[in-house]
């Protein structure tokens, strides 16, 4: 992928926000567009990182197949085989799906870090952000999004006169 952002970028910026994902039924859901609609600030970054963290212990995030929904169904099927309900879990105060949900969340993880390139997430051709809901009756889920990197400011390239590392001698 060709990029106009080669070389050293000067300056840095941080942006952080909390967003909500709409309630989903148990399963794996592609939420890339739902997240992107809530962080228009992403476009302001030329290069950087987008960190996405889910603020729950019974749901998770993953980066995987964005084209074929059968992949998400197959992963859900495998998670249920690997981590079944009905075992002799000690933690069961929130129902039979609660402890398996915590284990699934540990397997898949609670955060993603994705590169930012030219104001967009640098995702592979078939990659998308998955929200993995491991509970039967969960509500909306909260995410915290942190963007860090260099803003799209052509005046602050290493060779521009306003750059702190540009040569001022003639």
What burial class does residue 25 get, using C-beta atoms within 10 Å of its C-beta: 0-12 exposed, 13-18 middle, 19+ buried? exposed
pLDDT at 92: 87
Across 99-112, average pLDDT:
97
Residue 11: band (very low, low, confident or very high) from pLDDT cuts 50, 70, 90: confident
pLDDT at 160: 46
pLDDT at 57: 97
pLDDT at 162: 47
pLDDT at 169: 44
Instruction: Report d(CA 60, CA 79) in Å as an integer.
Output: 12
- pLDDT tens digits along 133-165: 999 999 999 999 999 999 987 555 555 444 444
pLDDT at 24: 97
- pLDDT tens digits along 123-135: 999 999 999 999 9
Instruction: Report d(CA 12, CA 65) in Å as an integer.
Output: 32
Query: Chain-centre distance of CA 53, in angstroms?
Result: 7
Identify the CA nearest to 20 among candidates 48, 59, 47. 59
Across 95-118, average pLDDT:
97
pLDDT above 90 covers a percentage of the chain that reads 81
Q: Which helix or strand (DSSP H or E) is residue 79 part of?
A: helix 69-82
Q: Say what angle helices 98-108 and 69-82 make with each other, to 10 degrees.
A: 120
Instruction: Report d(CA 130, CA 54) in Å as an integer.
Output: 11
* Sheet (strand 120-121) strand order: 13-21, 141-151, 45-54, 111-117, 120-121
pLDDT at 5: 52
Q: Considering the chain, what is the average pLDDT of its residues?
A: 89
């Amino acid at each position: 992928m060709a990029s106009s952002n080669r070389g050293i970028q000067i300056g840095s910026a941080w942006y952080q926000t909390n967003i909500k994902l709409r309630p989903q039924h148990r399963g794996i859901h592609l939420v890339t567009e739902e997240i992107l609609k809530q962080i228009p600030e992403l476009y302001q970054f030329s290069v950087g990182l987008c960190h996405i963290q889910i603020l729950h212990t019974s749901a998770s995030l993953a980066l995987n197949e964005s084209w074929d929904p059968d992949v998400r169904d197959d992963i859900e099927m495998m998670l249920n085989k690997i981590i079944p309900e009905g075992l002799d879990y000690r933690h069961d105060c929130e129902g039979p799906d609660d402890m398996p949900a915590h284990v699934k969340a540990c397997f898949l993880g609670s955060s993603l870090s994705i590169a930012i390139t030219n104001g967009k997430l640098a995702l592979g051709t078939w990659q998308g952000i998955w929200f993995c809901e491991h509970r039967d009756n969960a509500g909306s889920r909260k995410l915290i999004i942190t963007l860090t990197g260099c803003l799209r400011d052509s005046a602050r390239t290493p060779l521009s006169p306003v750059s702190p590392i540009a040569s001022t001698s003639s």
